[in-house]
Each structure stands twice: as C-alpha cells, then as structure tokens.
Amino acid sequence: MGVKAKIAPSMLSSDFANLASEAHRMVEFGADWLHMDIMVRPLSSKIRCRNCSFNFTLQFGWVGFLLCSCSNFYGFAFSCVGLGNTDDSVLLAQYELIKLSVFIFDGLLAVHFVPNLTIGAPVIESLRKHTKAYLDCHLMVTNPLDYVEPLGKAGASGFTFHVEVSKENWQELVQRIKSKGMKPGVAVKPGTPVEEVYPLIDSENPVEMVLVMTVEPGFGGQKFMPNTMDKVRTLRKKYPELDIEVDGGLGPSTIEMAASAGANCIVAGSSVFGAAEPAQVISLLRNSVEEAQRNS
Ligand code: DX5
Ligand code: ZN
C-alpha cells in the first residue's frame, strides 16, 4: 500500500494557553500533522408570527413564551443549545413545537454543527508564526465555504469539511480550497453512509482525504465506535491510494481496529496529551499502521 502513516495529535486536548510550545512538543515527539478542530456555536434563531409577521430573534439559551405584537397568538419556544441538548433531534423538536404553535420557524441565523466552540482563523494565524508543521484543520461548522479564505490566509495546510453540510456546494468548496493552496478533505459523521463521499472522490477535481469520524463530533475524550470501521474497510478496498483519516477515541487500545481496517492518518487527542510519554504513544500508533499495512 502506498499511503504513508501520518499521526496527528489533536490540539483540542492541548493546553490552549501554550499552543505554540504544545505544537513544538508534539512535533519533537514525532507528530506528522497537528490536528486543529474548528467549531462554532449558534448565535440566535429567528421566528415569525404567522398572523402579523412579527419577528422574534431568540438568543441561544432562551426559554419561554412568545407573545407577538398582534397579541392574538402566542407559543412556547426554546433554544435547544442553551438547554444543553444539541443534537439534530432536539433541533427538530424545537421546530415541531414552533410549528404546532402559530409561529413560523424562519431558520437559525447561525446554526450549530456541534455543541462546542474552539479555535478559529486568528489562532491558526498566530500558531503559523511559530511552526512550519502541517496544520490539519477539521471544520465542524455548517458553512465551511465562509472559512476557506480566512483559513487559507492564516496558513492552514489541510481543510476538511463535513459532507453533511456540503451537499450543494462541495465542488465549489474543493475548487476554492485548492486555489488557496490547501489539501481538501471530506469528513463523515458516524451516522452518515460512506457512499455519500464517493462522488467527491470520483470527481475530476477530487478531495484528497476522507475523515471517518469514530465518535460523534464535538468533544475529545469520547469512546471509539468500532462500528465505524466498516466504512474505513469499504473505502480502503475501493481506494487503495487514498488518505483515510480516523478521528475520535484513538489510542493504544483501539489503534489496531483502525489500522487493520485500513486507516493511515490517525488523529489522537486525549491518548497522546494524557500520556506520561506522548512520544511512545505516537510511535505505537505509527507502528500499528505500518504493521497493518505490511500484513495487508
Ligand atoms: C472531536 C474532534 C477530535 C477530538 C479527538 O470532535 O474532531 O479531533 O479532539 O479527541 P480524542 O482523541 O480525545 O477522542
Ligand atoms: Zn477532529
């Protein structure tokens, strides 16, 4: 197999106050890439009265009754993020609740993809001044197109967007990512069928990496989901030369599953940063990938 093992410590588990020295430490310990998780939270949602078109803007975290200016209609609404329930089903529940009442849900002004908030282009730009390392950026946002320009300018190396939010514009995204000199990748959440990324790999202007999420995106330190390995196996069989990255819950106890399935880019946050000897974990991850490749 021609694909090289790449070990990418996830900086989400690093000490953000010392990002530059954390980056240097990881490179010295043998990291090939530095994985940078970029996520945003929603700001507010918009709701309109069916009767008089009065507009409400709900800040996230808001819960309560709505009484509109025509005073005839009211309903109960809540902003799911503030309740700590942030998955799609709750968002739908919010929508249903509003629909049942007389208000029209006009859409979120800024929609969340994951319930967390991390770093953005300014941090990438600052870090770039301290390191030449490959910055493997994983965009957990609903509007990746908006980040291509700023991240390109900031010095990102890889730009991986989620297929779930890019069905309409992935061609434009890939083209713009490449034009900014970055390597385009596409990520899939655990519940998304792998077939959804085929058109992006088979395209004339293809993505150059597929990131298979092995936990629900959002947080470090979650439990690896072994059932996501079928996707890695399927991809490796179909695309022997493709960079296949796995992200979430990877460490000494789970690497064999991912490596034997065919993953070659390994993101590892808590298992590396939480180790007494991070260099040993990085080298163990690399050895597992290389050994699995020799045995395949
Ligand atoms: C989760 C992020 C991961 C995370 C992995 O949404 O995409 O990159 O940092 O952390 P661990 O390795 O701790 O699961
Ligand atoms: Zn990630």
Catalytic entry in 32, 37, 136, 243: 37
Q: Which of 6, 36, 37, 116 to mutate to test the pocket of ligand 1 (most atoms within 8 A of CB)?
A: 37
Q: Is 247 a catalytic residue?
A: yes
pLDDT at residue 56 in the model: 61
DSSP state of 207: -
Prediction pTM value = 0.81
| 292 close to 8: Cβ distance less than 8 angstroms | no
Residue among 10, 34, 35, 212 to mutate when testing ligand 1 (max atoms within 8 A of CB): 10
Contacts of 179 (CB under 8 A, 6+ apart): none
Ligand 2: distance of its center to the CA of 270 in Å?
Answer: 12
- Residue 226: alpha-carbon gap to chain centroid: 19
Q: What share of the chain is helix, strand, coil (3-state, %, to 5)?
A: 40, 25, 35
Cα 14 to ligand 2 centroid, rounded to whole Å: 13
Concerning whether 15 is annotated as a catalytic residue, the answer is no
CB-based contact 131:209 (threshold 8 Å): no
Atom 7 of ligand 1, residue of closest alpha carbon: 217
Q: Please name the residues in contact with 234: beta carbons below 8 A apart, sequence gap of 6 or more.
A: 194
Alpha helices in the chain (DSSP H): 19-28, 88-100, 121-128, 145-154, 170-179, 198-202, 229-238, 255-261, 270-273, 278-295
247 CA distance to ligand 2 middle (Å): 6
Q: What are 50's two structure tokens?
A: 């069916």
Q: How far is CA 101 from CA 48, 67, 105, in A?
A: 11, 11, 10
| Ligand 1 atom closest to residue 216's alpha carbon, by position in its atom list | 6
Phi and psi, residue 34, nearest 5°: -115, 120
What is the Cα–Cα distance from 106 to 87, expressed in whole angstroms? 19
In whole angstroms, give the CA distance from residue 40 to residue 84.
15
Which of 137, 164, 219, when mutated, tests ligand 1's pocket best, judged by the most ligand atoms within 8 Å of its CB? 219
Rg (CA), the chain: 21
Burial of 74 (0-12, 13-18, 19+ CB in 10 A): middle
Token pair, residue 62, equals 């808001």
Inter-residue contact 137 to 124 (CB < 8 Å): yes
Question: Could you read off the pLDDT tens digit of each residue along the chain, which spans 296 residues?
Answer: 589 999 999 999 999 899 999 999 999 999 999 999 998 754 455 556 656 666 666 555 555 555 556 655 445 454 443 333 334 333 434 444 444 444 444 443 334 456 556 788 989 999 999 999 999 999 988 789 989 999 999 999 999 999 988 999 999 999 999 999 999 999 999 999 999 999 999 999 999 999 999 998 888 999 999 999 999 999 999 999 999 999 999 999 999 999 999 999 999 999 999 999 999 999 999 999 999 999 99
Q: What is the dihedral of CA 26, 120, 191, 266, to 10 degrees?
A: -10
- At 252 the pLDDT is 98
Distance in Å, CA 258 to ligand 1 centroid: 15
- pLDDT, residue 131, reads 97
- Return the number of other C-beta atoms located less than 10 Å from residue 166's C-beta: 22
Model pLDDT, residue 229 = 98
pLDDT at 202: 98
Contact 241, 29 (CB under 8 A): no
